[in-house]
Structure 1
Amino acid sequence: MTPHDRWLLRTDTTTYAVTLGPDGRWAELAAWGPHGAEAGPSPMDRSRRTHFLTPADAAPAEYIPYGLRPFTGADLIAQHPGGERGSWWRFTGAAPDGDRALRLDFTDDVLGLRTTLCYETVPGTDVVLRWTELTCTGESELRLERFDSAAVNVPVQAGARLTYLAGQWSQEFQLRHMELARGRFEMESTQGSAGHAYAPWLAIQDSAAPTEGATPTYGIALEWSGNWRITADAEPGGSVRIRAGRVPHEGAVRLAPGTTLTTPRLACAFSPDGLDGLARVWHRYERRLTGARMDRPRKVLYNSWEATGFDVDAAGQLELAKTAAELGAELFVVDDGWFTGRHDDTGGLGDWEPDPAGFPGGLDHFIDQVRALGMDFGLWVEPEAVSPRSRLHAEHPEWAYRIDGRPVTLVRNQLLLDLGRPDVQDFVIGTLDRLLSSHAISYLKWDMNRPPTERGRPGHPAGTDPERQDLDAAHVAGYLRVLDHLRSAHPHVTVEGCAGGGARIEHATLARTDVVWPSDNTAPMDRLRIQYGYLHAHAPHTMSSWVTDAPGIFDPRPRSLAFRFVGSLAGVLGIGADIRDWTPDQRAEAAGWIARYKDVRDVVHHGEVHLLGSPDDPTCGIQYEEPGGHRLVVTAWNTGPLDGAPLVPGAAARLRLRGLDPGAAYTDQDSGTRYSGAYLLHSGLPFAWTAAHDAELVVLARE
């Protein structure tokens, strides 16, 4: 292989081209874009004039160590413990697999390190997966201070516009933009999960281009359930380079001779159609992650938490279940409070036995009553948590994270189990197996309501090097082992992922769950903003959303029951309100919305999505197109003022639809109104909002 040869990776519609640098010391990005983008001089090529920099610092390197790249940001920092930091490797081989996969080896014989850059395309998508394998080939261990998954060079010309998802608990997935002309942007989580503050997802565009429309847009998403970091650098010479990877809790990890560390996978995506187009790339990818489970309908659930809190007893739950069944719910989930010692948030976690006081006839008898109503049954669990007053903690205090001789921090009055320990994993697997095998449970909501704080393993020999424990990675491995076991041992069970809302939503979790809970905030306008950001990164079939009576936290404007239902059926519909207090009219309206959702959910979950405007606009919506284009589903909300009619002249609000055949005809299945595709594209779908009518679901059939 000569330095100027290239390897081409091809997805459905894009090409990712990799070459060796001029002296063959590192790999570079040559082109990334639609098929044919590689036919010409590389847009990443620079003058190679590097006053006060090295050539490696100016290169669009795919992955490069400190040592070769000392100034502008290295992806790998390795050393012998106590030795000098840095690696000076050489290219030692390539193993391409057609245009679908590639492995590039770089070796540092002095340090005793082989680095393998790994690439793999995902069939049916425009996603390239990248990760790195680090192997200690010497006779002494290595210390890895930084070991990103990959570096991504973005071919922009005038600086970068970054789009990211930020927030906090109850305000997750807020879409944010910033211009990066020069300098560094960094976001991370050290909460042992993706976290509420940022999502491990980033979109990059040229600052000179419009946000939407025919705009080349690049995106990355890290598949990691623990600590992570994403760094974007607008480097000297105008290059924009993104680095992403996990962050070890200990600050560094040790790599023993003969062992290999594999970094998390980084999904890299491209769309020529702006952020909206990039969202569709991610949606297709996440449908691939779901696999055969994608074919199972996401059932309408009722969850009892909002109605009863910790006050769980069979009689009250059965009253709710009967009403939920009358509305058309297909699944009844008992949330927190069903197990012994759980009268509030100070006890019970870890002792996963049904409370005989709450279920005097036994849990099985109650489940039989729910199933007799025509619904499946589900339970909430928090397998990683333990209450200090629980029997489990009394028997195994060493299973909880703590540092010997230091106080522990209670969050939500609970501690966190060290799921990196095999004995804790075995306990959790045994507990879940027992519950799912002993009772007719078809739905499991896995929650995690606190991050790790004093992250140590008590009882280990004094002087144990924490860098050899790698507690964050061990916890992630344990978490994924349990989820993988659930998927194989209990394939019929639907698993919902939750972490105090949306704190653990990334591709490793999404590949192993059926739905996730984006936020504990279910207020209508607040939730609309959360879901708008969420759908830029994640697919509708993963987005669990409930209709509740919750007032707004950040936007307290009152909204109709229809607004709440249309907002929730934009993903996977659930109900969490105290439906015992709903009037007969409200129950009848709810039953109507649930029936409509069942009619369109396949389109919502499998269709191509266009995000129409945003919650900042007076009217916004989402368009779902059925595979094959036979039906369109449009969810729409009035988020602004009304038009003033009848006191002053006013016109209907409109949403211009996208991606339609201008020559086709579309008929509204409710009103019978017939539109041409050209009309819907140019004039838009009309909505006559009133004070009582602030949301709508429209189904259009293509003739």
Structure 2
Amino acid sequence: MNQRWTLELESTSYTVTLEPGNRWLELVAWGPRGVERGPSPLANRGDVHFITDADAAPVEYAPRGLRPFSGADLAVAGDSWWRFDADESTETVLRLAFVDEVTGLRAVQCYRAEPSTDVLCRWVEFTNTGSATLEIDRLGSAGVCVPTGLDGARLTYLTGQWSQEFTRRSTVLEAGSFRMESRFGVPGHQYVPWLAVQDAGSPDGPAYGVSLAWSGSWELDAEIEPSGLTRVRAGRLANPGPIRLEPGAALSTPELALASSVDGLAGLADVWHAYSRKLAGPRLEKRRPVLYNSWEATGFEVNGARQLDLAKQAADLGVELFVVDDGWFVGRDDDTGGLGDWTPEQSSFEGGFGAFVDSVRALGLDFGLWVEPEAISPKSKLYAEHPDWVYRLDGRPATLIRNQLLLDLGKPEVFEYVRGVLDELLTAYPISYLKWDMNRPPTERGRPGAPSADLDAEHVTNYHRLLDHLRTTYPDLIVESCAGGGGRTDLATVSRSDVVWPSDNTAPLDRLRIQDGFLLMHAPHLMSSWVTDAPGVFDPRPRSLRFRFVLAMAGVLGIGADLSHWDADQRAEAAELITRYKELRPILHTGRCRVLSGPERTTAASQYTLGDQTVVLAWSTGQLVGTPLVPGRSSRIKLHGLDTAATYRDEAGVEYSGAHLVHVGLPVEWTAQHDADVFVLTQV
């Protein structure tokens, strides 16, 4: 029997082995190809005192019975112990099965190397072959061991709140544990189910990362183990729980994606970006249009004449898509009504909604629409007819958040209703873009008559089914994922969406920080970013219109400002920058992106490289050098990954050696009026 397995990725490898008693898998090595040829850097070499062997070992996955003290990945009532049963691998998936002969629980630990990437996906498939129901209190997807040393682990994570999502943080964990979770029914704004781990003694050294593909409640923790290694556990949160596995039933955990790079956090971001592009598949080549969204200009006051006027102004600037946000449907005069009744308010549009859509398209614009399919207003017709379709607990009052309730999407009749509503809209009108929002977490998470239902999983499963339905049935439709901003940006959602809305905060310096964190996790082609006139929430320092445009060009460019407030000069500048963006869009969306310096630096910059062209977007975030009034030097942006022996020419004809750009840097001159710029370099 083969007791050792190696999965080869694009440039890295991941090797596991059975421990001598065949009770669990251990990680042998993870890193650049070949690291498995030699003594394992993770194996425990010392005596074990007062704990079990599993508590001191680099265990890949273990139930609480086997690993009672140092943190188990699976917690079943009454505990569980298992032994290796069989290798059931296929051509693409390593499948190693373990069985608990007492309870009948069968667990197949699965590994899949993602082709052409350095990402490995892991999950576990359970089957209850016994005669009794099993109650699961903890359902991890994987345990991930990282060979950190005596200095502990440096953890980098993304945190925040609404309007402050994706804030990059780091902490050094010398001992003990670190935990993040969401009980919101979505990944949430407070934390992202993503983590990077490095040896604290080598902050610029190799980085290891995990990202959970789950759109519901989740948990992730990291702990310094007795041997000094760092072990990360991640999975869906049994909320509400426990999760019950009936005799004969099967259950799979969400996938946990693992990535590693010897090039630190920036290299790890490269790996995640490559994976984002792989998930997009052929849709990566699909044009993501420059959009205009009317929300900030009109709010709930949606009427055809005003919307069409904005559409004309947007078309004049070179915008390609016009999106009508909240307020287009019956009963939606404010946030107290309408949700659930997804019928256009025909009286708001001269000639009807269809004529309005045709008028927008006649301007040369695609048409998009905002929806929030999981929400329902108590004042709606739908709620009057189906009050039993919301999450509720018998005898308990319903809690309103944002004056709305949440549909129990796990119910088959609710799923069919929502699918029918979407189909009706998408077949009745030529809609090419759908902004799917979700602003309300579940509170009274119950379904009368079904006390043991796995509500979180059922909701997430049907949410994924709806997105899959949209992709299959309407292949040309672009789907934007939004949840009050960046509340649902997990890999499972991203793999089914075309763009993501990172935050409702569009203020320039605030947004620069948000986008810096987002690009640690996802590639630029996913990052929807608008130009607005919004003032800073956390950093109110004013920035130019150019700054806002260049910032939005870092991803998928959109505009959300009230265009009637822009003067002729602003419109001319906007049109010029939109044209510029369209020229560079293939490089920005499909090229290799590297954040060169973040918002904490006086010059922030990102680099995009495709073929022989390199685009650099740069922003002045802080104090100026004082030139030309006083002696000073140019600010410099050191580029990455260029051929140091090659020559590069900018659009003004100035030539630089690759060595100069990498080691000295691209010179930039900032003034109070010139606080952002776009540089294009061509290798000659």
User: TM (normalized to structure 2)?
Assistant: 0.99
Cα deviation 1:11-54 (Å, max 9, x = unaligned): 00001000011322110000000001001000011124111111
Give the aligned partner of residue 656 of structure 2: 675
**1:698 matches 2:664:** no
Cα offset, 1:674, TM superposition:
1.0
Cα offset, 1:682, TM superposition:
1.0
Q: How far apart in 2 are the matches of 1:124 and 1:690?
A: 44
Unaligned runs of 5+ in 1: 80-84
Cα deviation 1:492-538 (Å, max 9, x = unaligned): 11110100000000111111110010000000000000000000001
Q: Contact 2:377 / 2:404 at 8 angstroms: preserved in 1?
A: yes
Q: How far apart in 2 are the matches of 1:563 and 1:360?
A: 38
**1:521 matches 2:519:** no
The ranges of structure 1 where at least 4 consecutive aligned residues each deviate by more than 6 angstroms after the TM superposition are none
Describe the SS at the equivalent of 1:149.
strand
Q: 2:455 aligns with which of 463, 471, 485?
A: 471
Q: 2:225 aligns with which of 231, 235, 244?
A: 235
Q: 1:225 aligns with which of 215, 230, 241?
A: 215
Q: How far apart in 2 are the matches of 1:227 and 1:507?
A: 14
Q: 1:187 aligns with which of 177, 180, 185?
A: 180
CA-based RMSD of the aligned residues comes to 1.0
Q: Contact 2:644 / 2:662 at 8 angstroms: preserved in 1?
A: yes
Give the aligned partner of residue 151 of structure 1: 143
Cα deviation 1:463-499 (Å, max 9, x = unaligned): x5x3x30100010011011111111111111110100
Unaligned runs of 5+ in 2: none
Give the aligned partner of residue 51 of structure 1: 49
Q: Contact 1:48 / 1:55 at 8 angstroms: preserved in 2?
A: no
The letter of the residue matching 2:580 is R
**1:206 matches 2:199:** yes
Q: How far apart in 1 are the matches of 2:443 and 2:137?
A: 21
Q: How far apart in 2 are the matches of 1:542 and 1:370?
A: 25
Cα deviation 1:49-76 (Å, max 9, x = unaligned): 1111111110100001111111110111
Give the aligned partner of residue 82 of structure 1: none
User: TM (normalized to structure 1)?
Assistant: 0.96
Q: How far apart in 1 are the matches of 2:191 and 2:496?
A: 21
Give the aligned partner of residue 295 of structure 1: 285
The letter of the residue matching 1:540 is P
Q: How far apart in 2 are the matches of 1:287 and 1:510?
A: 11
Cα offset, 1:360, TM superposition:
2.9
What percentage of aligned pairs have identical amino acids? 60
Aligned runs of 1:86-235 on 2, under 5 Å?
A: 86-97=79-90, 100-158=92-150, 159-211=152-204, 215-235=205-225
Q: How far apart in 1 are the matches of 2:447 and 2:231?
A: 37
Greater mean alpha carbon deviation, residues 528-537 or residues 40-49: 40-49
The letter of the residue matching 1:677 is G
**1:565 matches 2:549:** yes
Aligned runs of 1:3-402 on 2, under 5 Å?
A: 5-79=3-77, 85-97=78-90, 100-158=92-150, 159-211=152-204, 215-402=205-392
Greater mean alpha carbon deviation, residues 356-365 or residues 608-617: 356-365
The letter of the residue matching 1:663 is A
Cα deviation 1:172-224 (Å, max 9, x = unaligned): 0000000111100000000000100000000000111133xxx2110000000
Give the aligned partner of residue 494 of structure 2: 510
Cα deviation 1:421-477 (Å, max 9, x = unaligned): 11111000000000000101111000001111111124x2xxx5x3x3010001001
Q: Contact 2:241 / 2:454 at 8 angstroms: preserved in 1?
A: no
The letter of the residue matching 2:622 is G
Q: Contact 1:48 / 1:58 at 8 angstroms: preserved in 2?
A: no
Q: How far apart in 2 are the matches of 1:237 and 1:181?
A: 12
The letter of the residue matching 1:656 is K
The letter of the residue matching 2:614 is L
Q: How far apart in 1 are the matches of 2:313 and 2:659?
A: 45
Cα offset, 1:368, TM superposition:
1.1
Describe the SS at the equivalent of 2:518.
helix
Q: How far apart in 2 are the matches of 1:425 and 1:41?
A: 53
Q: How far apart in 1 are the matches of 2:290 and 2:497?
A: 17
Cα offset, 1:250, TM superposition:
2.1
Describe the SS at the equivalent of 1:199.
coil
Q: Contact 1:75 / 1:147 at 8 angstroms: preserved in 2?
A: yes
Q: How far apart in 1 are the matches of 2:235 and 2:157?
A: 16
Q: Contact 2:240 / 2:445 at 8 angstroms: preserved in 1?
A: no
Q: 1:404 aligns with which of 394, 398, 409?
A: 394
The letter of the residue matching 2:21 is D
Cα deviation 1:607-642 (Å, max 9, x = unaligned): 11111111000001000001x3x1001000000101
Q: How far apart in 2 are the matches of 1:177 and 1:391?
A: 48
Cα deviation 1:389-443 (Å, max 9, x = unaligned): 0100000011111111111111111111111111111000000000000101111
Q: How far apart in 2 are the matches of 1:125 and 1:690?
A: 42
The letter of the residue matching 1:95 is E
Q: How far apart in 2 are the matches of 1:112 and 1:633?
A: 58
Q: 1:687 aligns with which of 649, 668, 672?
A: 668
Q: Contact 1:200 / 1:506 at 8 angstroms: preserved in 2?
A: yes
**1:636 matches 2:629:** no
Give the aligned partner of residue 630 of structure 2: 648
Cα offset, 1:646, TM superposition:
2.9
Q: 1:611 aligns with which of 595, 607, 612?
A: 595
Greater mean alpha carbon deviation, residues 356-365 or residues 282-291: 356-365
Q: How far apart in 1 are the matches of 2:508 and 2:81?
A: 55
Greater mean alpha carbon deviation, residues 31-40 or residues 645-654: 645-654
Q: How far apart in 1 are the matches of 2:240 and 2:669?
A: 58
Q: How far apart in 2 are the matches of 1:362 and 1:673?
A: 56
The letter of the residue matching 2:234 is A
Q: Contact 2:186 / 2:217 at 8 angstroms: preserved in 1?
A: yes
Q: Contact 2:54 / 2:66 at 8 angstroms: preserved in 1?
A: yes
Q: Contact 2:139 / 2:238 at 8 angstroms: preserved in 1?
A: no
Q: Contact 1:9 / 1:101 at 8 angstroms: preserved in 2?
A: no
Give the aligned partner of residue 417 of structure 2: 427
Describe the SS at the equivalent of 1:474.
helix
Q: How far apart in 2 are the matches of 1:126 and 1:544?
A: 26
Q: How far apart in 1 are the matches of 2:385 and 2:424?
A: 19
The letter of the residue matching 2:58 is P
Cα offset, 1:97, TM superposition:
4.3
Q: How far apart in 1 are the matches of 2:28 and 2:251?
A: 27
Cα offset, 1:553, TM superposition:
0.3
Describe the SS at the equivalent of 1:469.
coil
